[in-house]
Amino acid sequence: MVWQEDEQYTAETFLSLLQKVLAHYPNGKIVIVLDTARIHHAKLPQSFLEEMNGRVELVFLPPYSPQPNLVEGLWKWLKSDVINRAFCHRVAESRNSVQQFMDELMKALWSIIDRLCVRF
């Protein structure tokens, strides 16, 4: 898993994330599912993707479609278990709580699948 923490999510940070993904997965085709945020369509990452000659494919979810966007379920879970349960006096406290939540999830990946994924 590739993780990136930034204060702001910009076209530059998205490009940096794409570069990290490519470094982490040096072979084969990569398909990334994204929402329709403007930074995902910015010129900077698009020109980088063109240089990759189709190795990276971006698949965009339809706008206003939380059902197929599993990260929406993750945000809801995070808010209910972390954000809404405690008042943090400092941003660092909030970040630490979120990081602990994410660390726990990574220990039990099947719990993510069981909670977020629709099974057919």
Q: What is the DSSP string of the chain?
A: ------SS--HHHHHHHHHHHHHHS-SS-EEEEE---GGGG-HHHHHHHHHTTTSEEEEEPPTT-TTT-HHHHHHHHHHHHTGGG---SSHHHHHHHHHHHHHHHHH-HHHHHHHHPPP-
Separation CA 88–CA 82 (nearest Å)? 10
| pLDDT of the residue at 69 | 67
Separation CA 39–CA 61 (nearest Å)? 14
Mean pLDDT, to the nearest integer, of 105-113?
A: 78
Separation CA 9–CA 76 (nearest Å)? 20
Q: Is the pLDDT of residue 120 over 50?
A: no
Q: Is the pLDDT of residue 96 over 70?
A: yes
Q: Is the pLDDT of residue 2 over 80?
A: no
pLDDT, tens digit, 9 for 90 and up, residues 47-67: 888 888 888 898 888 877 666
At 73, list the tokens.
Answer: 């379920």
Mean pLDDT, rounded, of the chain: 79
Q: Is the pLDDT of residue 87 over 50?
A: yes
